[in-house]
């Protein structure tokens, strides 16, 4: 049964008003039907327009937006039903969603970009590209002829959902054997063997590459701790494209300083990484500034999601990618 009650079903006599953060997104969205309209409003910049305050039904929130101020502005819209965030991760928004408003994430929008960055990080680390680029800047010929190949290696993707599946496709194209980890054991839709998270200690010694894709929660906080890292074999590579706080930074630094493991990090703890932090200069470590999944909201993957969200509202269905109902008092 739908979580929506009869009183919350869409009244087809009203026009669905969708707010998007800028005109370029509105232009990319294009026509949305005679019973819907698009306005431009960025809740990170201002209160809702007075003339639209009572009309906004779906509010699209841009990347890197959150906190009491932004969600307080959203709470000023009494007919708001859905907040559409731009990221797959949603833990940053949960504490602030107004009571009675549905939060929807952007699951599926960023899968390909995160997977591309994961493959790029794996290749860069394994084929020693940072080392060669540094030698190029110094105009020095420093060949290392036998760096590890991705081909014939084994990768374990921790957090095997839609992004994990996209990562698996790209790693398999490089002849990597891929398995996954999730809350419970299963066979994934793509045929991947997915293990239960409780089995990680016995799994880790058998994998050359471990990819972290999990969101941050009480259950995943510092999941990658000293024991986790110690179970990885010598020379293994840790890639984190999930959340920085899933990894115990001090424990990782200890392994990097010993040169036993490699790391490639799109996310860190702390973040942004401050000047002088030891991760910047840690051996065998690549750091990129949380850009793996960043996607322009004019991209068709996001605009298609917004159109599906409008259609769901039009039919009175649950929001697409519904993750939580807000409870924060207005």
Question: In CATH, what number is assigned to the domain containing residue 199?
Answer: 3.40.50.720
Residue 8 has what pLDDT? 43
* CB 213, CB 188: distance < 8 Å: no
**What tokens were used for 272?**
């942004």
Alpha helices in the chain (DSSP H): 23-29, 68-74, 111-126, 129-137, 162-173, 200-203, 226-231, 249-257, 278-281, 300-315
Alpha helices in 8-110 (DSSP H): 23-29, 68-74
Q: Are residues 271 and 321 in the same domain?
A: no
Sequence-distant (≥ 6) Cβ neighbours of residue 235 within 8 angstroms: 148, 208, 260, 261, 262
Instruction: Tell me, yes or no, whether 183 lies in a domain.
Output: yes
Residue 63 has what pLDDT? 87
Q: Are residues 46 and 129 in the same domain?
A: no
Residue 327 has what pLDDT? 77
Residue 3 has what pLDDT? 38
DSSP code, position 7: G
What's the rounded Cα separation, in Å, for the pair 202 and 286?
27
Residue 4 has what pLDDT? 40
What's the rounded Cα separation, in Å, for the pair 278 and 320?
41
Tell me which residue of 211, 324, 234 sits closest to 284, measured CA to CA.
234
272: preceding bond cis by omega (within 30 degrees): yes
- Please state the pTM of the whole predicted model: 0.88
Q: Are residues 275 and 185 in the same domain?
A: yes
Q: Domain span at residue 75?
A: 6-109+296-325
Tell me which residue of 273, 220, 198 sits closest to 91, measured CA to CA.
220
Radius of gyration from C-alpha coordinates of the chain: 22
Per-residue model confidence as pLDDT tens digits over 25-70 = 999 999 999 999 999 999 999 999 999 999 999 999 998 888 899 9
What's the rounded Cα separation, in Å, for the pair 19 and 58?
6
Residue 330 has what pLDDT? 57
Alpha helices in 3-109 (DSSP H): 23-29, 68-74
Residue 264 has what pLDDT? 98
Tell me which residue of 171, 129, 180 sits closest to 150, measured CA to CA.
171
For the chain, residues with pLDDT lower than 70 are 1-13, 330
Instruction: Tell me, yes or no, whether 1 lies in a domain.
Output: no
Residue 64 C-alpha from the chain's centroid = 12
Q: Are residues 105 and 144 in the same domain?
A: no
- Could you tell me which residues are beta bridge partners of residue 262? 237
Instruction: Tell me, yes or no, whether 26 lies in a domain.
Output: yes
* CB 258, CB 231: distance < 8 Å: no
- Total number of domains constituting the chain: 2
Q: Are residues 229 and 247 in the same domain?
A: yes
Q: Helix (H, G, I), strand (E, B), or coil: what is residue 317?
A: coil
What's the rounded Cα separation, in Å, for the pair 209 and 89?
23
Residue 129 has what pLDDT? 96
Instruction: Tell me, yes or no, whether 175 lies in a domain.
Output: yes
Q: Are residues 141 and 57 in the same domain?
A: no
Q: Are residues 210 and 238 in the same domain?
A: yes
């Amino acid at each position: 049964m739908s979580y929506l009650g009869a009183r919350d079903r869409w009244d087809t006599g009203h026009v669905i008003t969708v707010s998007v953060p800028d005109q370029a997104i509105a232009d990319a969205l294009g026509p949305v039907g005679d019973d819907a309209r698009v306005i431009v409003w960025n809740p990170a910049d201002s209160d809702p327009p007075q003339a639209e305050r009572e009309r906004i039904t779906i509010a699209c929130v841009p990347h890197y937006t959150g906190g009491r101020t932004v969600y307080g502005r959203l709470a000023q819209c009494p007919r708001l039903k859905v907040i559409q965030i731009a990221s797959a991760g949603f833990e940053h928004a949960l504490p602030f969603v107004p009571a009675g408003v549905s939060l929807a994430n952007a699951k599926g929008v960023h899968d390909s970009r995160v997977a591309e960055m994961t493959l790029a990080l794996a290749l860069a680390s394994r084929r020693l590209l940072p080392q060669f680029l540094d030698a190029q800047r110094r105009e020095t010929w420093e060949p290392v002829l036998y760096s590890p190949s991705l081909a014939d290696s084994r990768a374990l993707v921790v957090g095997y959902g839609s992004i994990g599946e996209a990562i698996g496709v790209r790693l398999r194209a490089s002849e990597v054997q891929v398995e996954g980890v999730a809350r419970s054991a299963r066979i994934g839709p793509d045929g991947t063997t997915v293990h239960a998270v409780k089995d990680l200690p016995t799994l880790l010694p058998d994998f050359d590459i471990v990819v972290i894709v999990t969101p941050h929660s009480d259950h995943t906080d510092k999941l990658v701790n000293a024991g986790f890292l110690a179970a990885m074999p010598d020379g293994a590579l840790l890639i984190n494209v999930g959340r920085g706080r899933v990894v115990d930074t001090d424990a990782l630094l200890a392994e990097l300083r010993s040169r036993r493991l490699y790391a490639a990090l799109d996310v860190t703890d702390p973040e942004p990484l401050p000047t002088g932090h030891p991760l910047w200069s840690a051996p065998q470590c690549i750091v990129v500034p949380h850009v793996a999944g960043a996607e322009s909201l004019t991209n068709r993957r996001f605009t298609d999601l917004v159109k599906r969200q409008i259609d769901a509202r039009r039919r009175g269905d649950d929001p697409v990618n519904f993750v939580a109902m807000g409870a924060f008092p207005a």
